[in-house]
Amino acid sequence: MTMIEKRNHKEEASAVNRESRPTILSAPPADARLGPVHHVNQRVTLKSWETLADWEERATELRRHILSCAGLQPLPDRTPLEAELLNPRKGDGFTVWGYRFQSLPGFWVNGNLFTPTGDGPFPAVLNPHGHWQSGRIEHSERGSVPARGVAFARMGAVALTVDMVGYNDSDQVEHRFSGPAEHLWGFGPLGLQLWNLIRAVDFLEELDIVDNARIGCTGASGGGTQTFLLTAVEPRIRVAAPVNMISAHMHGGCACENAPMLRIEANNVEIGALAAPRPLLMASATGDWTVDTPQVEFPAVQQVYALYGEPEQVECVQVDAPHNYNAETRAHVYRFFARRLLDKPDIDVSTLEVPLPCNTEELRLYPRESRPKHALSQSELFDSVKARHRRRMDAPLDSQGAEQIRTELTRLLHWRAPSSDDVRIRVVDEEQLGSRILRRMTLGSQAHGEAIPVLLEWNASLATRVVPSTEGRREWPQAASGPVMLHVASSPSPILNPNRGSRRADETSESAPIVCRLEPFLTGSYVSPAARTGRNTGVTHFEGYNLTDAAWRALDIALVAAWLRIALGRSSHLEAEGEAGPWGLVAMALTGDIESAALDVAGLMDDDRSFIEKLYIPHLLRLGGMRSLIALCAPRPLKLTGLAPELNSVALELYASAGAAGQLSASTEAPAS
């Protein structure tokens, strides 16, 4: 059983055990998140943009989001490439070389460089390949990467073909390496390949024969995904032709095309439009998922180009063929680059592709060439990525650095503090027990359709005020001073007994004027086990299109805290116990509506296994794990129990550095029951 399967099995078993527990509601909430999950093959609704300012605001945010999800925010250091050109062979009007360079210390990028005859400087075209069986040396009827290299060189451009990770000479890692541990650190083939291509542009710029102001990129299928991702984040790409990939109903089936959280509120059409207003060719085929491109995806992208006043800068072509980068498609691309990059609109593309001076296997570097001595294995590369992030996060964290982490965490979790108009409330019932009033309700946002079970109880003697809501005008209690007590537990104590009207005495509720209890996503009153809902966490690349359960639970706490501020005019004191403590820590890091907290963090440590089991939210360890979450809570009063021993002194130092040493109480002991 894999770690993910173990985690899902544990959550399901826990949910089954909760079925007999008394809950806030007598029936499961009508929560939109219990429906079918988003997935790779889901048709998306494409958005149009009213103004250029609106689009550019979205574009700036989306570029940051791509880099963040790829694990490249901030970008790694541009260490020396140590590039080598190897084994040149002369052809008819071109020379083909082997090359290698280091994109990261100990990780080598390999491929072939096709150069024109002459001194240059020449334009250059990057050629990432897709999931062809032979990778960059694929030379078949459906697609030929070497033919592109030859053709671009003969038309007067330097062409660089680049191995995808795990293909041909780039076998230091597997191609589809991915899993919960890697996701926690933002480490995966999408980010590694994107960084390799960014460094490939650096490599081209170091070549004297390249005109750095004229660099383009083209690839098909997975190479098309690489093309539009690179173009989205790399302004040095001036012309692009992603082939058979920009689709509104298939977003890339491989791990190298998916990264955790990347497409939760984004899609390939939007990402492709980030090329605007640079020249872009959307090449498509009738026999794959780009069949609708002329009628659907192309008009949506052209609408963005029209905002710049340059709709003619994006072009569309479709061939009647299955998924391909065949000779017909290549001819369209050659003509496009001839016009847009080389200023040779009259070139005869039918003469460009001529035979190679060698067979395709001889284009490989190995085993003909000796391998670099300092090449990392996959596990060693992962360790080096972790070490890089740890060095960055171990540096002193000032207020600016803390806000940068909070901003990135907010972006990844798609957290938006709601306004009064954003919050949906449905009151289920209300009763008075002695001096206390109990109001049961569900609460959610307009954006996500949550139905979080909430029990609000308050002293009947408190003054009230009328606050408009989605249910109309309703009275809410007003505390004279101090925060509202916000209480959450992963396995709630019996808030209600099965016989309505009798409630267990509770010291917390008796001592606080207002107490709000909630049951976060898939706990307590929710349908359980989760497998009975439409939320199938086992779909391919689930985390690229959906938030994890732990992420939703943290957001539920943050949303309820935000609503308490809106409706009651008070911030919250959060108490979270059991498994809920780590969720509460994330919620407090996200929102200032929680002014203090007492959290049982259940021994959560800054390591892969601990986060997979207790707080599985991709990228959290890359962002600093417990260290960053605690720092984002400072200087607010915080009591931590169940703290891992190795984190006790770290937490104290973080609060001391924030000038709030007296505001933190840290203990490795579990809270008293």
Q: What is the pLDDT of residue 12?
A: 37
502-540 pLDDT, tens digit each: 343 344 445 689 999 999 998 887 755 455 677 889 999
| Beta carbons within 8 Å of 44's beta carbon, 6+ residues apart | 248, 249, 267, 269
363-389 pLDDT, tens digit each: 999 999 999 989 999 999 999 999 999
Q: What is the pLDDT of residue 361?
A: 96
Which helix (H) or strand (E) element contains residue 212?
strand 210-220
Q: What is the rounded CA–CA span in Å between residue 6 and residue 523?
A: 18
Which helix (H) or strand (E) element contains residue 196?
helix 189-206
Q: What is the pLDDT of residue 478?
A: 85
Question: What pTM was computed for the model?
Answer: 0.93
Mean pLDDT, all residues of the chain: 91
Q: How many CB atoms lie within 10 A of CB 366?
A: 13
Q: What is the pLDDT of residue 525?
A: 77
Instruction: Check: CB of residue 545 under 8 Å from CB of residue 459.
Output: no
Ranges of residues in the chain with a pLDDT under 70 are 1-28, 468-472, 490-511, 527-532, 672-673
Our CA dihedral for 153, 158, 159, 164, rounded to 10 degrees, sits at 160
Q: What is the pLDDT of residue 480?
A: 74
Instruction: Check: CB of residue 16 under 8 Å from CB of residue 529.
Output: yes
Instruction: Check: CB of residue 525 under 8 Å from CB of residue 12.
Output: no
Q: What is the rounded CA–CA span in Å between residue 318 and residue 243?
A: 10
Instruction: Give me the residue label for tokens 């049982």.
Output: 600
For 470, half-sphere exposure in the C-beta direction (CA atoms, 13 angstrom radius) is 17
Rg (CA), the chain: 28
Q: What is the pLDDT of residue 214?
A: 98
Q: What is the pLDDT of residue 527?
A: 59
Q: What is the pLDDT of residue 108?
A: 98
Which helix (H) or strand (E) element contains residue 3?
helix 3-18
Helix (H, G, I), strand (E, B) or coil at 458: strand
Instruction: Check: CB of residue 276 under 8 Å from CB of residue 52.
Output: no
Structure tokens at 523: 């706990």
Q: What is the pLDDT of residue 472?
A: 66
Helices (H), 274-377: 297-307, 327-340
